[in-house]
Chains A and B, each alone.
Chain A
Amino acid sequence: GAGVSQSPRYKVAKRGQDVALRCDPISGHVSLFWYQQALGQGPEFLTYFQNEAQLDKSGLPSDRFFAERPEGSVSTLKIQRTQQEDSAVYLCASSLGRVDEQYFGPGTRLTVT
């Protein structure tokens, strides 16, 4: 079966541009997480969905960051007016339920110039 996929794998944006990052979780996985991973660091939590409901967005660094999962499957992380400090790898992970291990996508490397 297919794993978690993310697109694009690499994105270069000019400062001030908007970007949209897509995540296709494993079919049937209820939980979906977004993380930000800076170089040399572990993943940092951004937001969590249970089906289509965004239950926690406490990790989003600013109101420029927005995530959605309208039909409870595919999710999109949108960053408006990108800044250089947004440069990082954005990881998506899904799991069957809240207590289960997570399955990660390959990530999207965002570079803001």
Chain B
Amino acid sequence: AQSVAQPEDQVNVAEGNPLTVKCTYSVSGNPYLFWYVQYPNRGLQFLLKYITGDNLVKGSYGFEAEFNKSQTSFHLKKPSALVSDSALYFCAVRRSGGSYIPTFGRGTSLIVHP
């Protein structure tokens, strides 16, 4: 079985400050990890993924995420938040070399204050 935990329902940050949205996962074997963002009344948009290689992954809109195997985490980060980053963020995991079905977390609402 595979699972994803996003421990924070909501993250508040001031514009210009760094942001972190947390994600931990459980999967047998090696993980494929993804972050998606969802704006109101729109579908999920892909931000970045970890498949293999460097633990620090860079993605769209200045976001990055760090894969930490020992802590089974894949936290999303951005050095300087924008008001336009306010949205719902989903972490997803699937097992490499096997199931193609991803499991999504419940989502974290990011609110960036001006």
Q: Which residues of A contact B44 (CB under 8 A)?
A: 43, 91, 93, 102, 104
Assess the B34–A101 pair: CB atoms within 8 A. yes
Say whether, besides A41-B107, A42-B90, A42-B107, A101 and B46 are in contact (CB < 8 Å): yes
- Give, as a whole number of angstroms, the nearest-CB distance from A55 to chain B: 8
Assess the A106–B43 pair: CB atoms within 8 A. yes
Assess the B42–A45 pair: CB atoms within 8 A. no
Q: Which residues of B contact A66 (CB under 8 A)?
A: none
Assess the B106–A98 pair: CB atoms within 8 A. no
Assess the A56–B105 pair: CB atoms within 8 A. no
The A-contacting residues of B in range 73-105, CB under 8 angstroms, are: 90, 92, 96, 100-105
Query: In the complex, how many residues of chain A place their beta carbon closer than 8 angstroms to a beta carbon of chain B?
Result: 23
Assess the B43–A41 pair: CB atoms within 8 A. no
Secondary structure of the A side of the interface?
Answer: loop
Residue B12 is within 8 A (CB to CB) of chain A in the complex = no
Residue A31 is within 8 A (CB to CB) of chain B in the complex = yes
Assess the A106–B42 pair: CB atoms within 8 A. yes
Assess the B41–A106 pair: CB atoms within 8 A. yes
Bound CA–CA A41/B51 (angstroms): 25
Assess the B49–A43 pair: CB atoms within 8 A. no
- Scoring B4, B42, B104 by chain A CB atoms within 10 A of each residue's CB, the highest score goes to B104
Assess the A45–B43 pair: CB atoms within 8 A. no
Q: Which residues of B contact A107 (CB under 8 A)?
A: 43
A residues with CB within 8 A of B: 4, 31, 33, 40-45, 48, 56, 59, 91, 93, 98-99, 101-107
> Can you list the 7 inter-chain pairs with the closest CB atoms, starting with the nearest?
A42-B104, A104-B43, A98-B100, A101-B46, A104-B44, A106-B43, A45-B101
B residues with CB within 8 A of A: 4, 32, 34, 36, 41-46, 49, 51, 90, 92, 96, 100-107
